[in-house]
Amino acid sequence: MLLGDSDIQAIWLTVRLATIVTVVLLVVGTPIAWWLARSRSRWKGPIAATVALPLILPPSVLGFYMLLAMGENGPVGHLTRALGIEPLPFTFWGLVIASVFYSLPFMVQPLQNVFESIGNRPMEVAATLGASPLDAFFSIALPMSLPGYLTASILTFAHTVGEFGVVLMIGGNIPGVSRVASVQIYDHVEALEYAEAHRMAAVMLIFSFLVLLALYAWRPNSLKMTRRD
């Protein structure tokens, strides 16, 4: 067997985490991106900057604040205790929430770009033809934005697969709960299991390369969409 059971478990956990985070962000990121693309509010700048923060913030900083927020004395911790839910740090769902914040710009920015490129006109035309805003979104804006959705989903998925710092801060290193592929490699190296580390690292390398290759082959400009002023 090329990969050990714990390796397979780590990969499976990573795929599950990345899938859930991508689906959650498709739902959460769409209204944020739509608002950022359309709004002329003075809050647009601060909100856009907040969404973009994970692009430049060290993951450990983000993880540290989230740990405080989710901890027993943090606001999220108070909430979970009031609801009778176990504290989020060092659980899979805690990891999901942290990853949603961490990968937010990778979903929002490509969507914002594609919404901006469509402009107001198609939505205006749809409205004068009798479509409500929600109807116009699903019948016009969404299908016209599919390329942006595909780019955003792939980038979000890949970015979540690649996270390490946030996972360590929020999830720790619990097999089957928070030990994702990147942490598993770290573990192997720590234990001086270089052959195992090599195999996992190779899997990650090939995966990342294939994702980027697919994106570039399909749309050479899509990666530029994540970094905009």
Footprint of other proteins (CB under 8 A): 121-122, 124-132, 135, 139-140, 143-144
C-beta separation of 155 from 110 below 8 A: yes
The residue (of 26 and 127) whose beta carbon lies closer to other proteins is 127
Write down the least CB distance from residue 30 to other proteins, Å.
Answer: 18
- Report angle CA 105, 110, 113 to the nearest 5 degrees: 120
Give me the sign of the Cα torsion angle 144, 150, 151, 156: positive
Write down the least CB distance from residue 122 to other proteins, Å.
Answer: 6
Phi/psi for 29 (5° steps) reads: -75, -30
Separation between Cα atoms, residue 120 and residue 117, nearest integer Å: 9
Write down the least CB distance from residue 146 to other proteins, Å.
Answer: 8
The residue (of 143 and 220) whose beta carbon lies closer to other proteins is 143
C-beta separation of 112 from 37 below 8 A: yes
Give the residue carrying structure tokens 């205006």.
124
The residue (of 146 and 206) whose beta carbon lies closer to other proteins is 146
Write down the least CB distance from residue 88 to other proteins, Å.
Answer: 41
The residue (of 146 and 210) whose beta carbon lies closer to other proteins is 146
